[in-house]
């Protein structure tokens, strides 16, 4: 079979149009953002208050910086108010989760893992709850935003 020159030219042009169209489609495809957008939660922010230890009189100053994405920094303030003045042992990182108005945190002090559970008020500016580690030590926490 002998096809004419025009037929071969038309076939070549059609193939070229299909190839260019496929390339443009692939090149213009919207990129998927690989970094998930972290939504702010009403619980995020700096919370300050006190904790008590069951069986002991008094309280200690305490704070949490609750960050978006489930990260928390906990400060054992003692008598201080400036978190920059604290030793490295008095500020530890952990994780948090929120289920309705119940906030749970877990953090490791280097020698023990501490778990807290607190109920947050409807305005998300006050929380009350408990802390514990190893079942032997426990107490209460009260924090305000």
pLDDT digits (tens, 9 = 90+) for 65-100: 999 999 999 999 988 888 888 998 899 999 999 999
Q: How confident is the model at residue 26 (pLDDT cuts 50, 70, 90)?
A: low
DSSP string, 45-99: EEEEEEE--TTSSS-EEEEEEEETTTEEEEEEEET---GGGS-GGGEEEEEEEEE
19 pLDDT tier (thresholds 50, 70, 90): very low
Tally of CB atoms within 10 A around 107: 20
pLDDT at position 31: 55
Question: How open is the CA angle 37-40-46, to the nearest 5 degrees?
Answer: 135
pLDDT tens per residue across span 122-133:
999 999 999 999
Q: What is the pLDDT of residue 111?
A: 85
First to last CA, the chain: 86
| pLDDT of 32 above 70 | no
């Amino acid at each position: 079979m002998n096809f004419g020159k025009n037929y071969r030219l038309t076939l070549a042009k059609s193939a070229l149009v299909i190839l260019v169209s496929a390339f443009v489609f692939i090149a213009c495809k919207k990129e998927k953002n690989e970094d998930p957008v972290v939504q702010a939660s009403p619980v995020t922010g700096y919370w300050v208050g006190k904790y008590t230890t069951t069986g002991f009189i008094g309280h200690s100053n305490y704070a949490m910086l609750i960050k978006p994405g489930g990260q928390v920094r906990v400060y054992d303030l003692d008598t201080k108010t400036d978190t920059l003045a604290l030793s490295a042992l008095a500020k530890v990182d952990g994780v948090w989760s929120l289920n309705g108005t119940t906030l749970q945190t877990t953090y490791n002090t280097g020698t023990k893992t501490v778990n807290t559970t607190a109920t947050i008020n409807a305005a998300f500016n006050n929380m009350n709850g408990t802390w514990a580690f190893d079942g032997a030590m426990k107490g209460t926490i009260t924090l305000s935003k």
